[in-house]
Structure 1
Amino acid sequence: MRVALLVNPAARAGAHTGIATRAAERLRAHGVQTAIVSGGSAAESSSLLRTAIDVGVDAVAVAGGDGTVNLAIQEVAGTGTPLGIIPAGTGNDFAATLGLRELDAKAAADAIAGGVTRRIDLARVTRADGSTRFFGSVLASGFDSKVNDRANAMRWPRGGSRYNIAILVEFLALAGMPYDVELELADGTRERVTGDLVMATVGNGRTYGGGIPICPDADPADGLLDLVLVRPAGRLRLLRLLPRVYRGTHGSVPEASIRRVRSVRLAAEGVTAYADGDPIGALPLTVDVVPGALTVFTPQA
């Protein structure tokens, strides 16, 4: 087997590079031909990865977090080329959805060398200009995208606690935003929701922000997406809701609703959506599910 191993282009001399080196050594010990791919930017890394796929690698692996995994997803979606993940990022939420988050470099490499794969869905975003992009875990808009704005601007601390601090700071300025949401349910029925929302989140996976279970029951292989809408309430009431979000039990409170959908169009003025932890575009956006679009390596039972 020949594998192209993509490394986070923003951390070529840092921790990701060391993890990638250990993973590559482990793969080679299994007899897997492994070439490390890393450009000077996301665009260059994507171009190098496309070239490797065109040349004929058998699989793609990623050493990094959700953003780096997202780069690889764009290249392998719908191709049948399997994707392996060596979790090495801040959040690793997509890896968590696949049961890979806690794997170290050697265990993740072993899963790739083992050759066991499964097919999962991807979510596809269509922007107002018609351009598209896939994501694997969660798209956030509203309060949670503002949290991402703040968390990404913070230099300290690292890890999931950065998101916790950003949540508390943004909470002080929390206000509802006028949304227009058009959704298609699993049975093909269409509905429209209008009015103020605190947030509108679309999940192919379960968690974001380093493990927050915003879509606690999402199944990345069920052919559907989970849509979470939260309506405004008093600040004290919403503060009491936060611990339920961290436990994944928020779906039972009156201000929150979780629906299974095939597609959803989100529109709100001045709101930028994030997907897999990175900005993906300003609303309005349409998100639909692409069943079985991605083949991933999974640990052997």
Structure 2
Amino acid sequence: MTAPRWRLILNGKCAGDDDLREAVGKLREAGVALGVRVTWESGDAERHVDEAIRDGVDTIVAAGGDGTLSEVATELARRDEPAETLPSLGLVPLGTANDFASAAGIPEEPLPALQLIRDSAAVPLDLLRIDADDGTHWCANLASGGFGTEVTVETDEGLKKMLGGLAYLITGIAKLGRIEPLAARVSGPDFAWEGDFIALGIGNGRQAGGGQALCPDARIDDGLLDLTIVPELSGEVASTIGTLVKDGKHAALDRVAVRARMPWVELVSDEPLALNLDGEPVRSRRFRVECVPARLRMHLPAGCPLLATA
């Protein structure tokens, strides 16, 4: 039997992870032909994915956070080949927040995460394709705008390294007194909304920014995106924060959010609007976000809560 051929693409910030090094060694001892490449600068992921496909690998493993997953998925999705002819995708979560991995139930430790990839069949994975003023982007997890985007963008790298996901909460609390709503027109099939919002999520996955579950019911294999809009709250801010403390953040969100599920959505704003695409801020006056069904294949746990088929 031919040994499985894998290529692990590792975020350079995590290159000194001893647990990952040990786990790679154990997978090699178990018969997996596992090569490692490290990303240091823009363009590295594209080069490594191209090389892996030329080498005929079976699986490409993204080792890092949500941004690394999205970067590798983007380079696969940009190719003309259908999903079944491309390498499958695996994930070893090594980032700060690891929102996709957390929601999907992927193990936090490198060895169990690699063993999951080895022992599970790849399943179809939808992706979000975003057309903006500057071109086309892809998103594996969640596109967010408003307050959550500013928190994610402004959170200090050193603080994230020390505190992990807690860093986003601290930054968010610091910003609570100066939330400025954004204005947009949002439309999709049988859906139209216009007004000021403080947070917006367009989910393939469910959460971003260290656990902000903006799209708590999203599925990654249903061919649909989940839209959540948190309107400007005016006098309800105090009572909403009270609910947040008493009942938890999901209860507070449910009180005020506008939600919909659809295959595509368009956002239009008179001023440039920032969407955070798995950690990559993109500014545009107009976005069209489309769910592309089964664009890739990914190794996920049995009973993964993000799967409609679970």
When the two structures are superposed, what TM-score results if normalisation uses the length of structure 2? Answer: 0.86
Paired letter, 2:145: S
Q: How does 1:76-155 map to 2 (within 5 A)?
A: 76-77=76-77, 78-80=82-84, 81-100=87-106, 102-129=107-134, 131-152=135-156, 155=159
Q: In structure 2, what is the equivalent of residue 263 of structure 1?
A: 264
Paired letter, 2:110: A
Evaluate the alpha carbon distance shift between residue 267 and residue 23 of structure 1 in structure 2; reply closer, same or farther with a 3 A threshold. Answer: farther
Paired letter, 1:166: T
Higher mean C-alpha displacement, 73-82 vs 200-209: 73-82
Evaluate the alpha carbon distance shift between residue 201 and residue 298 of structure 1 in structure 2; reply closer, same or farther with a 3 A threshold. Answer: closer
Paired letter, 1:124: R
Evaluate the alpha carbon distance shift between residue 121 and residue 243 of structure 1 in structure 2; reply closer, same or farther with a 3 A threshold. Answer: farther
Q: Indicate the SS of the match to 1:252.
A: helix
Evaluate the alpha carbon distance shift between residue 283 and residue 24 of structure 1 in structure 2; reply closer, same or farther with a 3 A threshold. Answer: farther
Evaluate the alpha carbon distance shift between residue 26 and residue 176 of structure 1 in structure 2; reply closer, same or farther with a 3 A threshold. Answer: same
- Out of 177, 182, 200, which is 1:172 matched to? 177
**Which string of whole-angstrom CA distances, capped at 9 and with x for unpartnered residues, describes residues 138-159 of structure 1?**
1111111111122146635431
Cα distance in 2 for residues equivalent to 1:57 and 1:196: 47
Cα distance in 1 for residues equivalent to 2:243 and 2:280: 25
Give aligned-pair identity as a percent: 28
Q: CA deviation at 1:289?
A: 0.2
Question: Are the equivalent residues in 2 in contact too, given 1:65–1:91 (CA < 8 A)?
Answer: yes
Question: Are the equivalent residues in 2 in contact too, given 1:2–1:59 (CA < 8 A)?
Answer: yes
**Which string of whole-angstrom CA distances, capped at 9 and with x for unpartnered residues, describes residues 217-260 of structure 1?**
1111111111011111233134235458954334531x311111
**Which string of whole-angstrom CA distances, capped at 9 and with x for unpartnered residues, describes residues 164-191 of structure 1?**
011112211013221111222xxxx3x3
Q: How does 1:64-79 map to 2 (within 5 A)?
A: 64-77=64-77, 78-79=82-83
Paired letter, 1:3: W
**Which string of whole-angstrom CA distances, capped at 9 and with x for unpartnered residues, describes residues 77-120 of structure 1?**
353321111111111111123220x3311111111221422112
Paired letter, 1:257: V
Q: Indicate the SS of the match to 1:226.
A: strand
Cα distance in 2 for residues equivalent to 1:272 and 1:88: 26
Q: Unaligned regions of 5+ residues in structure 2, if any? A: 304-310
Q: How does 1:232-271 map to 2 (within 5 A)?
A: 232-233=232-233, 234=235, 235-240=237-242, 242-243=244-245, 247-250=249-252, 252-253=254-255, 255-268=256-269, 269-271=271-273
Cα distance in 1 for residues equivalent to 2:244 and 2:53: 43
Question: Are the equivalent residues in 1 in contact too, given 2:62–2:91 (CA < 8 A)?
Answer: yes
Cα distance in 2 for residues equivalent to 1:246 and 1:183: 30
Q: Unaligned regions of 5+ residues in structure 1, if any? A: none
Q: CA deviation at 1:55?
A: 2.1
Q: CA deviation at 1:277?
A: 2.3
Cα distance in 2 for residues equivalent to 1:37 and 1:245: 45
Question: Are the equivalent residues in 1 in contact too, given 2:230–2:253 (CA < 8 A)?
Answer: no
Cα distance in 2 for residues equivalent to 1:133 and 1:245: 37
When the two structures are superposed, what TM-score results if normalisation uses the length of structure 1? Answer: 0.88
Q: Indicate the SS of the match to 1:23.
A: helix
Q: Indicate the SS of the match to 1:271.
A: strand
Question: Are the equivalent residues in 2 in contact too, given 1:114–1:300 (CA < 8 A)?
Answer: no
Higher mean C-alpha displacement, 191-200 vs 237-246: 237-246
Q: CA deviation at 1:300?
A: 5.5
Cα distance in 2 for residues equivalent to 1:140 and 1:28: 38
> Aligned-residue CA RMSD in angstroms?
2.2
Name the count of aligned residue pairs. 290
Q: In structure 1, what is the equivalent of residue 278 of structure 2?
A: 276
Q: Indicate the SS of the match to 1:97.
A: helix
Paired letter, 1:107: P
Question: Are the equivalent residues in 2 in contact too, given 1:23–1:108 (CA < 8 A)?
Answer: no
Paired letter, 2:12: P
